[in-house]
Amino acid sequence: MAAPEASSAAVPTLMTNNTLRNAFGGVLSFFILLLIGVLAFSIRLFSVIKYESVIHEFDPYFNYRVTQFLTKNGIYEFWNWFDDRTWYPLGRVIGGTVYPGLTLTAGTIWWLLNSLNIPLSVETVCVFTAPIFSAFASWATYLLTKEVKGAGAGLTAAVLLAMVPSYISRSVAGSYDNEAVAIFALIFTFYLYIKTLNTGSLFYATLNSIAYFYMVCSWGGYTFIINLIPMHVLLCIVTGRYSSRLYIAYAPLVVLGTLLAALVPVVGFNAVMTSEHFASFLVFIIIHVVALVYYIKGILSPKMFKVAVTLVISAGLAVCCAVIAVLIALVASSPTKGWSGRSLSLLDPTYASKYIPIIASVSEHQPPTWPSYFMDINVLAFLVPAGIIACFLPLSDASSFVVLYIATSVYFSGVMVRLMLVLAPAACITSGIALSQAFDVFTRSIKFQLPGLSSNTEVDAGETSSATKEAQNDAVKTEKAEETSKDRPSRKSKKKEREHVEKPSTKTKAEKKRLLALPLEASVISLLLLVFLGAFYVVHCVWAAAEAYSAPSIVLTSHSHDGLHVFDDFREAYAWLRHNTDVDDKVASWWDYGYQTTAMANRTVIVDNNTWNNTHIATVGTAMSSPEKAAWEIFHSLDVKYILVVFGGLVGYPSDDINKFLWMVRIGGGVFPHIKEPDYLRDGQYRIDSQATPTMLNCLMYKLSYYRFVETDGKGFDRVRRTEIGKKYFKLTHFEEVFTTHHWMVRIYKLKPQKNRIRGKTKKSKSKTSSTSSSKRSERGLFRHGNVFGGKEAQNQFCISSILGLVPCATTGPPKRQI
Amino acid sequence: MGRSSSTKDAQALFHSLRSAYAATPVNLKIIDLYVGFAVFTALIQVVYMAIVGSFPFNSFLSGVLSCVGTAVLAVCLRIQVNKENKEFKDLPPERAFADFVLCNLVLHLVIMNFLG
Amino acid sequence: MGKLWVIFVASISIILPFLCNSFSPETPTDRRVLVLLDDFAIKSSHSLYFNSLKSRGFDLDFKLADDPKIALQRYGQYLYDALILFCPSIERFGGSIDLAAIINFVDSGHDLIIAADANASDLIREVATECGVEFDEDPSAMVIDHTSYAVSATEGDHTLIAGDDFIKSDVILGSKKIDAPVLFQGIGHSLNPSNSLVLKVLSASPAAYSANPKSKLSTPPSLTGSAISFVSIVQARNNARILITGSLSMFSNGFFRSHVQKAGSPTKHEKSGNEQFLTELSKWAFHERGHLKAVNVKHHKVGETDEPALYRINDDLEYSVEIYEWSGTSWEPYVADDVQVQFYMMSPYVLKTLLNNKKGLYSISFKVPDVYGVFQFKVEYQKLGYTSLSLSKQIPVRPYRHNEYERFIPTAYPYYGAAFSMMAGFFIFSFVHLYSK
């Protein structure tokens, strides 16, 4: 550290002053980080406070069940677990199809706590895993941003990440899903990569590979890392920033990372065979070529080097082209060019809707709307562009990485709303950089202009300024003057500053500073406004966490004039199943409810949320779209005993099976061509009222949803579709209703067993047996009738004029049984 | 005549390369030898796989990747130990070697796990 | 009246001790039979048939069909094990019996014999339709056959038919061949060919048709040829057996004793085949023949004895089941060589014929296929005339555990060698590097 040419006597005091300041700063930042962790943890507890400590949604129930199995049976059983209670009758090899990171993490925490004699239940550990790891994630963000721009930016970014709503939405207490630990692993891996890049130490490269392994264990989104890092390496090479640190950062990661990724059973050989990983291998080869070129350039004279270059280019080009042609032929021979369906749908957003209806039907896979950006990252949407610019001045390897990260994640978040989650850390990092730079400028302007403090020019001289600076001062919130410094800039706090002096004399610097400092009042006001910006962000985040993202979705609430209504129908139905059916009974429902059924009702299901077998799901979809007899045949062949249907028409719950029905038709029709979507639409519109098509009115889903629905209000008014239903009075011939929950949200039906006798074809004559309806006059076998469907066929009553002309015709009013 | 000039250039290039390489210190040459050994083993395995087929693919993968990994790590060590390298002049060679050992340990642990 | 009442009470008190060994899975033969008659003359005119039943140990309870005191069940318990309806002209049953009660009776596993006649009422026709048999809709039609009629006193009366188109089944008709044709006079019925539960036991010849014998034929008859069935049996899915015929007089003493000569055939049989035919058929209908039970389903891995909870792919396992047949008095081992077991998961992966040891034990051993999933051991045995056996047992099949693969694969030795050589090289190199100057 070069000491400025001030009086030598001032140097020791300066040094002690600065070390004191550094120490104080270190302690302060430690406590700030602790508080950030507490903040991240507690803001996610709204769901526990408002509802209860329960696992949310669908996927977390599966993870919870797997964790239960792990804690009960140990890791070897978990590794080899063959689950026969799902995807009946195919079963599912859990050990090889699940990302084990989350369950192993929670299992380890539980085991650790239990061995310390803290008896927390597995459910509690699962519910609170996500908030704990979000605290870790904000600390990782601090570390990452510190590597890029310095501690002040780090703290700002950490605070922003602790509260950003899009991350909260997937890591609230109870949301026990892969992303809870995966985002932490993502940020941590990136931090270690940048650290290796900055220091060139092989130790951090090893840690980087291990963190990458943890990421592969946790989430399918690890392909983002293994494509982003090669892109960044390529970018560095292309922009002439190749250095041996880059090689050390990248090459061991590829080798070790591929090996470690292949260790995880879910990934297995995909780590080397699918196109998602080819980018890393390609860049691996490229970096070796570049390294070789640089090495040869280093040991040869320039003239010889030119010769070498021309030689290699002429000879090597042909070889290169041949190799590339072979590779392209190999990759192009597979229909999807080696990419998996989900990855392809990321690159080409229209791919899924054309070819794979299942992927297109998941609501998380739809593109986000513009307002959802503001909802999910709020104020950061404005700060990100400023942060990008701040990364360019000056451009280092780390800041170019951040720019690349934010650019790619913005693209991907625009394709799939689920990937807004990957955008969140990038947005927080760049906004943190921007905010801390802004604070930096303003506080230094203030400090510079306050008397008494400006004499410490040596201290002020910690900042350098480049010639290319624009110091506008028009708008206060949006325009920020950029400061550049090659070293770590000042902290967030106004009082402490570090001293790193690298540039020339302080006098010119001070002069430059005087020219480029902002006026005092402007700085103060803009500082205040920035604080308001932050406050607005905080308020929005807390509101989003409390109101929007804390709903467990297994329990619904609604406010009415007489208080809070709680709809606990799902758990009611699963408890009924659990207590009133045999252990080996099979339950068929749409795949959304599979995980919850196996976890809470403990019954075998046919399809569940894993959606790995399209044909099986299409079978269930076809059954739901077929008439009763055909559906009975399909379900009987699958040994199904009970059918579960979700219906929201009575209470206005919009995510019920009738709304999802068209997807069932599409998915079923994709495999069984006799199911055609236009058959269910009237003039291209999806209707269930009297204008609906006969196919729609006769399909199983319609019948099971609306059976006896007219008894609730006499008219059969569906609150979700906002019409009266088309066919109101009908009987079920092959199914019988066994349970309907309190608000009619879940309805359970049983398959009727096969008839004991097969009836002859002669129509039934009038029966003289016990009949409870009105008008009985038994005529003795003089004539037979057509089909008299006992019951209330008010609409379809037709008049059979008897030969004796005895009974008047009833077209309206209560139906009478005619003879 | 282009051909002859290019061959002459090639020969001159070859000579200069050789002389430049001979100037490198011994320990770096040892590392280069080690790297060459690793790459050679990898090539043998690839040829073997091309002949026999890739049945125990995990064994093939672990074998090849262990060779490639060893080579890469050795090159990293070489970079760090090379005295001409300005960026690493304040990195003690013992530290570089310790990192190298650690990384190799992790590599071999993973290879052992993946081999069977 | 008092006598009837005493008889009734006596029969009840006699029946009570037999409640425990009446129709039950252990002794499937029926014991108590309710016989509903149009009038008691039938009891004497069909006495040969009833005596044959009584001699086999059945308790027959004769009642008039419109007796107001008849009931099939009381307080949820069935009073009888079987029902014989010899009341073709009944319009409405007395007491608590009606169509629904009869149908429920059958659906709860009890047997039924129905005899219709030329004046069959709608009710009887309804009962028959519910069982899957459709009598001719024309109420005055009878079966007429101008080529297979029985030579009889009245000339030109071709409604008395000598039928000999029997179903070929030893189980249903007994092992002894019926030589003489069977006399039939009544209405015919037809079966739906897609109905798998009904069978024609005695069909009409191709020249038969169903029409009113007294009036001139105006339109072609709807029921003709071999589609007409004289006697049919129905075996419901719960193994209740129903015997339906369109001629009550087939059971009469007169037909039992009379001689028969089929038109166009020179042989004159002294005795018609009715007695033998109907006796054997009743034996079948009341579960004295052809009733199987399957017990003791066992499966285990070859070499072990207890049943595992799940198998692994490529395991060897053994499956065994015991099948017995009821001989009327006791359970005898059932011997057949066409009982098959499937190892089934949406389609049979393994289909094997079980080997039997002549003592009723059927077993086979096979290898679990290379597919994992939830399989079922399925035995679906449906032989003509026998009760259907439908057994299924669910068993999961898991894939290999991670340590059940081959430990060292010979083709991979070079790779092992390369990895170990790398480790050795690393070791040596580190020594060299550290200690070289």
| B108 assigned to some structural domain | yes
Pairing of strands C311-312, C389-398: parallel
Same domain, C343 and C219: no
The whole-angstrom distance between A92's CA and the closest CA on chain C is: 8
Report chain B residues whose CB lies below 8 A from the CB of C407.
116
What's the pLDDT at C10?
61
A173 closest CA partner among A425, A490, A549, A427: A549
Same domain, C234 and C139: yes
Q: Amino acid identity of A137? A: A
CATH number of the domain enclosing C348: 2.60.40.1930
Same domain, C314 and C247: no
Report chain C residues whose CB lies below 8 A from the CB of A95.
402
Asked if the model's pLDDT at residue C413 lies above 90, the reply is no
Asked if the model's pLDDT at residue C351 lies above 50, the reply is yes
Chains that contact A by 3+ CB pairs under 8 Å? B, C
Can you tell me the distance from the alpha carbon of B66 to that of B104, in angstroms, rounded to the nearest whole number? Answer: 9
Can you tell me the distance from the alpha carbon of A336 to that of A348, in angstroms, rounded to the nearest whole number? Answer: 12
Q: Is the Cβ of A511 closer than 8 Å to some Cβ of chain C?
A: no
Mean pLDDT along residues C305-333: 87
Burial string for C196-224 (b: 16+ CB within 10 Å, else e) reads ebbbbbbbbbeebbbbbeeeeeeeebebb
Q: Model confidence over C129-146: pLDDT tens digits?
A: 888 888 888 788 888 888
Size of interface B-C (CB pairs under 8 A): 73
Same domain, C228 and C186: yes
Cis status, amide bond into A89, omega within 30 of 0: yes
Mean pLDDT along residues C115-139: 86
Q: Looking at the 3D structure of chain C, how many domains does it have?
A: 2
Same domain, C245 and C348: no
The domain of C280 spans: 23-285
Instruction: Answer for the pair B49, B67: CB distance below 8 angstroms, yes or no.
Output: no
Q: How high is the mean pLDDT of chain B?
A: 83
A749 closest CA partner among A649, A603, A660, A641: A641
Can you tell me the distance from the alpha carbon of A484 to that of C169, in angstroms, rounded to the nearest whole number? Answer: 102
Question: In sequence order, which ranges of chain B are alpha helices (DSSP H)?
Answer: 2-22, 26-52, 57-81, 93-115
Query: How far from A709 is each of A649, A650, A812, CA to CA, in Å?
Result: 9, 8, 21
Domains of chain A (ranges; CATH) run 199-338 (no CATH), 565-751 (3.40.50.12610)
Same domain, C98 and C79: yes
Same domain, C374 and C254: no
Q: Which residue of A has its CA nearest to C126?
A: A764
Question: In sequence order, which ranges of C112-227 are alpha helices (DSSP H)?
Answer: 122-131, 170-173
Same domain, C311 and C278: no
What's the pLDDT at A779?
36
Q: Model confidence over A316-340: pLDDT tens digits?
A: 777 778 877 877 776 666 555 566 6
Q: Is the Cβ of C238 closer than 8 Å to some Cβ of chain A?
A: yes
The larger pLDDT score, comparing residue C306 to residue A763, is at: C306
What's the pLDDT at A30?
93
Q: Do B87 and A298 touch (CB under 8 A)?
A: no
Asked if the model's pLDDT at residue C214 lies above 70, the reply is yes
Best B28, B41, B105 member to test C by mutation, with max C CBs in 10 Å, is B41
Helix, coil or strand: residue B95? helix
Q: Looking at the 3D structure of chain B, how many domains does it have?
A: 1
**Ranges of residues in chain A whose predicted pLDDT is under 50:** 1-7, 455-506, 767-819
Q: What is the largest CA-CA distance in chain A?
A: 130
Report chain C residues whose CB lies below 8 A from the CB of A764.
126, 129
| C411 assigned to some structural domain | no
Instruction: Answer for the pair C189, A760: CB distance below 8 angstroms, yes or no.
Output: no
Q: Do A201 and B6 touch (CB under 8 A)?
A: no
User: What HEC string does A126-158 produce?
Assistant: HHHHHHHHHHHHHHHHHHHHHHHCCHHHHHHHH
Same domain, C191 and C331: no
Q: Cα–chain-centroid distance for residue C187?
A: 24
Q: Do A206 and B65 touch (CB under 8 A)?
A: no
Q: Do A760 and C122 touch (CB under 8 A)?
A: no
The domain of B39 spans: 25-115
Residue A684 gets which letter from DSSP? Answer: T
What's the pLDDT at A353?
66
Query: How far from C271 is each of A745, C205, C259, C332, CA to CA, in Å?
Result: 72, 21, 5, 33
CATH number of the domain enclosing C240: 3.40.50
- Nearest Cβ partner for A263 among B85, B91, B113: B113
Same domain, C113 and C156: yes
Q: Which residue of C has its CA nearest to B70?
A: C422
Both tokens assigned to C186: 């009544």
The confidence band for C219, taking pLDDT boundaries of 50, 70 and 90, is: confident
Q: Do B97 and C423 touch (CB under 8 A)?
A: no
Q: Which residue of B has its CA nearest to A202?
A: B99
- Nearest Cβ partner for B59 among C409, C432, C433: C409
Same domain, C247 and C317: no
C97 closest CA partner among C77, C67, C117, C76: C67
Instruction: Answer for the pair B24, C377: CB distance below 8 angstroms, yes or no.
Output: no
Asked if the model's pLDDT at residue C422 lies above 80, the reply is yes
Residue A558 gets which letter from DSSP? Answer: E
Mean pLDDT along residues C155-180: 82
What's the pLDDT at A765?
56
Q: Which residue of B has its CA nearest to A197?
A: B87
Question: In sequence order, which ranges of A544-660 are alpha helices (DSSP H)?
Answer: 569-580, 594-596, 614-625, 628-637
Can you tell me the distance from the alpha carbon of A389 to that of A392, in angstroms, rounded to the nearest whole number? Answer: 5
Gap between the terminal Cα atoms of chain C? 130
Q: Model confidence over A696-715: pLDDT tens digits?
A: 888 999 999 999 998 888 88
A246 closest CA partner among A283, A300, A297: A283
| B10 assigned to some structural domain | no
- Nearest Cβ partner for A759 among C130, C240, C396: C130
| C431 assigned to some structural domain | no
What's the pLDDT at A580?
92
Q: Cα–chain-centroid distance for residue A257?
A: 24
Can you tell me the distance from the alpha carbon of A626 to that of C276, in angstroms, rounded to the nearest whole number? Answer: 51
Can you tell me the distance from the alpha carbon of A630 to that of A241, in angstroms, rounded to the nearest whole number? Answer: 67
Can you tell me the distance from the alpha carbon of A257 to that of A260, in angstroms, rounded to the nearest whole number? Answer: 5
Can you tell me the distance from the alpha carbon of C226 to that of C191, in angstroms, rounded to the nearest whole number? Answer: 11
Both tokens assigned to C411: 């083709």
Instruction: Answer for the pair A497, A440: CB distance below 8 angstroms, yes or no.
Output: no
Same domain, C236 and C374: no
A751 closest CA partner among A768, A734, A726, A727: A734
Helix, coil or strand: residue C380? strand
Can you tell me the distance from the alpha carbon of A621 to that of A635, in angstroms, rounded to the nearest whole number? Answer: 11
The whole-angstrom distance between B45's CA and the closest CA on chain C is: 7
